[in-house]
Amino acid sequence: MSLPANTATQSKAVIGVSLKLYFGYQRSVDYCRDVAAIAFAHPAVQNGDIELFVLPTLPALPEAARILGAAGAAAGAQDIFWEDEGAFTGEVGGRTVAELGGRYAEVGHAERRRIFGEDDRIIGLKTAAAYRNGLTPVLCVGELQQGSVEEAVARCSADIDAALNRAQSLGPAGRTIVAYEPQWAIGAPEPATPEYISAVITGLDAHLRALPGQADSRVIYGGSAGPGLITRLDSAVAGLFLGRFAHDPKALKTILDEAAARLGLLAGTAARA
């Protein structure tokens, strides 16, 4: 089972995994094989209730897309360039990502902002590149320091608007997955509290889905997310964007089971959303 780009709009939950630069080529492919086996046997993935994707190291993308696509999941890139072609040595455009079988493109991660100096202009251009190449942008936003819920919603809503306004000035927009990742929680031993996450994402979800063309868009949580978290979050939180805590396929299976249980999709569980 494999869905074309930008069609998984009816999913009830979204679970994404970024492998960052932790795995080399072969380990990335082996991980995707393990995830595909889990996805193929998981009813909520197979019936489309859970939208599952993995962002491997770029050289592994074609094989990852083939392996995961056959199991009802998908793959994507951890970054794209803002132009599709030209004299840009070393860059990879969204057109190439799509040709390699990618269906998602992560943009605006805190590490890209901090280490590579990416600002709102660049993130907006990359978001536009994702849209025009049929990719779903995974737009990362998150406040630098912990403050109030209201401050976080205001800061992250401004980041969403900056990216989408620039993108829409360059062409038609599409569905967006916003990954709320408070920068102070990335790499921390524990995520933000469930109450804080739920309150911020409730605000972001209302803001995002009220924007033109974004009714099918979703907000998920990242930032030291792992097993045990999603069952403690409000139903406004569509899912999780996972890093190191899902690099063990067994942990990812646990999270998929928890997401399904929260939706009342596993036998013997009560609906939570």
Residue 59 tokens, joined: 């050289």
Burial classification of residue 164, based on how many CB atoms lie within 10 Å of its CB (0-12 exposed, 13-18 middle, 19 or more buried): buried
Closest CA to 100 of 88, 92, 89, 108: 92
Catalytic, 150? Answer no
Which residue is catalytic, options 63, 106, 143, 181?
181
Q: Count of alpha carbons within 13 Å of 117, Cβ hemisphere only? A: 0
Say how far apart CA 118 and CA 173 lie, in whole Å.
Answer: 21
**In one letter, which amino acid is 149?**
V
Catalytic, 85? Answer no
Say how far apart CA 174 and CA 192 lie, in whole Å.
Answer: 29
In sequence order, the 6+-apart residues with CB closer than 8 A to the CB of 188 are 223, 224
Instruction: Give the residue numbers annotated as catalytic, written as ranges.
Output: 109, 181
